[in-house]
Structures are given as C-alpha cells and as structure tokens.
Structure 1
Amino acid sequence: MDVLVIGGSRYFGKRVIALLRESGHRVTVLNRGSSGVPDGTGHLVADRDDEAALESVLAGRSFDVVLDQVCYTPRQAEIARRVFTGRVRRYVMTSTVEVYAYEDSAGPVPESALDLASVAVDTGAAWDDPEFRDAHYGEGKRQAEAVFAAGAAFAWASVRVAHVLGDDDFTGRLDHYVRRVRDGEPIAVPAVNRPATYVYVEEIAAFLAWAVEADFTGPVNAHSHGPLHTADLCAEIERQVGGRTVFREVEVGEVSPFSFARSYGMDNARATELGYSFSHSSEWLARAVSDAVGAAR
C-alpha cells in the first residue's frame, strides 16, 4: 500500500513508520520540513494549516491510507477533509483519551460514550494560538473527530490513544515521579485519586500500524489491559531506584501528572472484537519505568 503519514516522525510516530516499511508498504511523510524522515521514506513538505500549500504538494498524488498523527483542531480536520477527497481511500486519525474529558464513569468508557454528532464544532475559535490549542487539546481532538464523522468522502477512523509510557517520552511526566520518589519529595495528588488506562510506546506503534492495514471505521480505544494508579507507578519506581513515595493530598490546585480526580479508564472491547490483542500493563511497566530511570540519571 501507499501510506502517507502526516507529522509524527518522533516518539511512537517513528516506530509506526518503521513497522509500516518492514511490512512492505511505501511510506511518505508530510511535514513542515523542520525534521527529517527515515531513510527510504518519501518526503513532502507543506504546512498542514495551509490549504493551498497542501493542494499544491499533493497535486497528482493519491494514497491508499493516510495516518494523520497531528490533527489537533477542527479547522485542520476541515482542510484535510477537503484536500484528501478523491486522493485517499481511508483516513486514520490519531486521537486521544482526552476526548472523554467530560465523562466520569465508574467503569471503563466505551467509544459510544462520546456522541460525535452532538459535538459543537467551532472553527472560529483561536486554534492558531499555541497556548489556546494546548489548553484545549482534548476539545480540539473531539471537534476534529466530529468534523470527519459528519461527512468525510473517504472511510475514516480515529484511534483514541491512552496515556503513553516508554522510551523517548518527551513529556517528562514519568520522569517527574522518578525524581521525586528517588529524592523523597512530595507528590501532589487529588484527595480521591483515580486510576487510568495506559499503553506502552511500542504497543501503540504496533496498534497504529495494524489500524493502517485494517478496514474498520469510526473511533476505537487503544490501551493495554490493567489500569494503573499513581501508587502503582511509584511502587515500581521504588523497586528500581529505592527512595520513598510521599503523597500530598490536595483539595484544589495543580496535581502531579498521571494523578486524576476522575476516572480515565477506557474500554478496549471494540479493538478486541476487531481482532487486536493488547498486552497487560504488568508485562511492560517495569520496562517503562526503567526507560524513565535511565533518562533521569
């Protein structure tokens, strides 16, 4: 297949590209040119926010599948929906667990918990402002999904990715815990601290590569079995580096990353029904922590 990957040439994106190439697919990466692409991979340079530039660079080109790693706003989704009409058979958007920001279910949340038809799309918001976009990350993804779901002329799917742990984590979230546990510094958590679903970096790369080759449509939750609590992460860190976990419960104010006052548990039954077998978090948690420990030294 001819596969176009938009953005995402770092972290798990580079792993997806490698897996697709190993499977024999012809892979082209489209980005702004600020970062290179792996050897043997095609390269198109354009700003995805510039519709005319996209039309120009894609002139005469078509693809079997697009994997969009960097669609963050409804405005970007609308541009993509127009530009790729007639140029692609299937479009896979990398989304996020954050689309469930308004859910607080006692049990794992299925894809149907979010009715995309009811999502209000506001393309006039300040989506070009990086601070606004970052502050409305989950909402931007919700609205982007809603744009595609409302009437794309190609088959469309979204992969709602859980919190990712593992090597090359540029967010520094697990590193935050490693340093604080090692040094015995307090970790701010909500008074009622809920578990969340996670996925290892290698596993989400494998799932996205699988999704490119699959033919399902609509949203699918992607995460390992076995939700994790903040205490689970800290217990593994203690096992590897020693130190002492000191939790400081706060009623209001900022808490540590991976500490949640509401449930962030997704239900991955649909992915299982589609034929994908996720691992259990207990199979890779030690590796993920080891990655973070090495980075914190």
Structure 2
Amino acid sequence: MRILVLGGTAFLGRAVSRAALARGHEVVCAARGSAPVADGAGLVVVDRDDPDGLAPLRGQRWDAVVDVSRQPGQVRRAVAELTADHWVLVSSANVYARFDHLEQDEHGPLLDPLADDVMPDMSRYGEAKVACEQAVATTASWTAVRAGLICGPGDDSGRLGYYPWRLAHPTGADVLVPPDLDHPVAVVDVDDLADWLVTCAQEQVHGALNATGPTHRLGDLLDLAREVAGSDAALRPVPAEVLADAGVEAWAGTPSLPLWVDDPEWRFFSTLDSSRARAAGLVTRPLRQTLARALAHEQTRTTPRTCGLTDEQERDLRRRLDQHQEDARA
C-alpha cells in the first residue's frame, strides 16, 4: 500500500509511520518538516495552515490517508483536494457530549460541530473533532477512530508516566495520589493504537469506532506503577479539600494529580466501550507494559512535564496534608 500520513513527525503520527513501514508499506509524511520522520518514510514539506499548502500533493493517488489534525479547515481541505481509496481520521473521545456513565459506546450523543475552520482554543477541541469527523464522512470509505488517552513512549504530557516516575523518585516515605482510588481509568498504548490504525487503512474499516484499553481502578493502576518502579514508597491519598486549598488540579496541568477527574459529570471520561474496535482487530498490551514504557520515557525526557507535582510541590502538599490530619485529630 501507498499511505500518506498527514503529520507523521510527532508522537502518534510517527508511530503510525513506523507501524506501516514494518508491514512493508510505502509511507509518505506531509508535515512542516520541523522534526524528523520515521526511518524509511518519505517527507513532503507542507504548511496546512496555508490555504494552498497541499499543492505539492495534488494529482497523486493514495491507497490510504491517515490524518491526525484537530483543525476542521485542514481536514476539509485535505478531503477536497487529495485522492485516496480510504481515509483514517484520528478523532477523540472528546467528541462526546456526556461522560456520566461507564464505557459509553459509539451511539453516545455528540457535541455540535465547530463551524469555523480553526478552533479558537482547546476548550473547543471536541467540537473541532466532530467537524473533522463530518468532513471525512463525506468520502466513500472512511474510519474515524475516537481514541482514549494515548500513552507510552513519546507522550510528553506525562499523565500516565508521572506516577511510575514519581514512585521511582519519591520525595519522602510516601507518594501523594488522588483521593478516589476507585476512579475508573483507561489508556491505550501509542504503538497498539498506531498498529490498529494501519489495520483500519488496510482493511478499510468503515465508520466511527472507540479505541482505548480496558478499564482499571486507579488504585490498581497505581499498584502496578509501584511494582514497575520497584518502589517501597507507600501510596498516600490526599483529600479533595486539601488539594483544593493547595491549588492542585485534577487530570492535568501543573500542579496536578493526573488521571483522576473530580467533576462527577466527567467521571467516566477516559473509559470507552471499544468492543467494535477489538472485533475489527485492535489488540492492546497489558497495562504493566505500557507503564514500564512510559517510565522509560520519563527517565530520559528533556522537556518539562506538563502535569503532576515537582519535588517541592509534593513536599509542600505533604506538609499541608500532615497539618490537615493533625488538625483533624485535635
């Protein structure tokens, strides 16, 4: 197959390129060229923000196009200007309007699509992805993959990798974790998702499908992270009111305790019914392996982590927690 990856130089796009090349496909990446493509892939330099940016690709035919864009205008122009037998769009669970029940399937209500070509900020990410889905759905053959939380090597968000890294580098006898250890959480390894995206291209899997790994209790995930890190540190949950007083957020950001959502309406955000994807060939590795791969990435990263607690932030939060517990006993 001749596969065009619109992107291909960052996290998931590069993983898709590697997976396709491993199966013997010809891969061409269309990107700004600010980062290298996978070994063996071709590169066509394009600027998708330019209305005429896809000109170098016109007149060619592709067996499949894989698009990771979140900007509706970019996807609309690609669908209008490029010729392909099948389209694979990397969409997101953010397209859903509600997250108030466990593992919703593809029939859940969606947000309204973004009418504009460019989303003004990340608060409109879900609406933008709905619009991107609508654009590829105008083609004769398409897959929209509503991915969950993508983790593993190259994930600079650190949302999964923070916990095994922190457990490997504790600031005390314990590691501070969210208050709700029963919180449901699911992730998908970047290479498992990438491999299945290539399957979608090969098999021309049709329609919108959820794609993430099995649902786990946060407490079980943290126990696995502790084992992967080889850590003796205890897990110490911090009450929500102590986190709020300290300005520590849920899910992401700095400072934060990731993977936990404190809004009941978003409690099941990361969980998805991915049974259709599994029936269509999605295979996900054990969570322990993804945690180990995430830890290896965290140990060698050179960019700032965008979630979790710094050493000093964790020490400060521990002092607050000690005082809170002392006051409660008084």
Tell me the TM-score normalised to structure 2 length.
Answer: 0.75
Structure 1 Cα separation of the partners of residues 202 and 176 of structure 2:
42
Residues 120 and 166 from structure 1, CA distance in 2 versus in 1: closer, same or farther, beyond 3 angstroms?
closer
Indicate the residue corresponding to 1:99 in structure 2: 95
Structure 2 Cα separation of the partners of residues 230 and 183 of structure 1:
21
Structure 1 Cα separation of the partners of residues 301 and 7 of structure 2:
27
Deviation by residue 1:199-255 (Cα, 9 ceiling, x = unmatched): 122211211121121122111111223x12332232123222222222223266721
1:248 matched to 2:254? The reply is no
Q: Give runs of aligned pairs for residues 143-162 of structure 1, distance below 5 A.
A: 143-149=131-137, 152-162=138-148
Deviation by residue 1:48-89 (Cα, 9 ceiling, x = unmatched): 1223121x21232121100012x10322222222222xx111
Deviation by residue 1:113-164 (Cα, 9 ceiling, x = unmatched): 145xxx533333762x5xx1x3332332123213333xx1331211112212
Structure 1 Cα separation of the partners of residues 282 and 136 of structure 2:
27
**Percent identity of equivalent pairs:** 26
Give the deviation of 1:91 after TM superposition: 0.7
Structure 2 Cα separation of the partners of residues 16 and 23 of structure 1:
11
State the AA in 2 paired with 1:13: G
Structure 1 Cα separation of the partners of residues 58 and 294 of structure 2:
45
Indicate the residue corresponding to 2:258 in structure 1: 257
State the AA in 1 paired with 2:158: G
Q: Give runs of aligned pairs for residues 61-210 of structure 1, distance below 5 A.
A: 61-69=60-68, 71-84=69-82, 87-100=83-96, 102-105=98-101, 107-115=102-110, 119-124=111-116, 127=119, 129=120, 132=121, 134-149=122-137, 152-181=138-167, 182-184=170-172, 187=176, 189=178, 194-210=183-199
- For the pair shown, the structure with the greater C-alpha radius of gyration is 2
Structure 2 Cα separation of the partners of residues 268 and 65 of structure 1:
23
Match of 1:270 among 276, 293, 298: 276
Can you give the 5+ residue segments of structure 1 that lack an aligned partner in the other structure? none
User: How many residues of Structure 1 are paired with residues of Structure 2 in the alignment?
Assistant: 281
Give the deviation of 1:92 after TM superposition: 0.3
Structure 1 Cα separation of the partners of residues 171 and 233 of structure 2:
6
SS of 2:48's equivalent in the other structure is coil
SS of 2:88's equivalent in the other structure is strand
Structure 2 Cα separation of the partners of residues 243 and 293 of structure 1:
18
SS of 2:131's equivalent in the other structure is helix
Tell me the TM-score normalised to structure 1 length.
Answer: 0.82
Residues 44 and 222 from structure 1, CA distance in 2 versus in 1: closer, same or farther, beyond 3 angstroms?
same
Deviation by residue 1:177-204 (Cα, 9 ceiling, x = unmatched): 2454422576463669631221122211
State the AA in 1 paired with 2:186: T
Give the deviation of 1:96 after TM superposition: 1.7
Indicate the residue corresponding to 2:253 in structure 1: none
Can you give the 5+ residue segments of structure 2 that lack an aligned partner in the other structure? 251-256, 303-330
Deviation by residue 1:253-297 (Cα, 9 ceiling, x = unmatched): 7212211241131111112332x1524644625534542563489
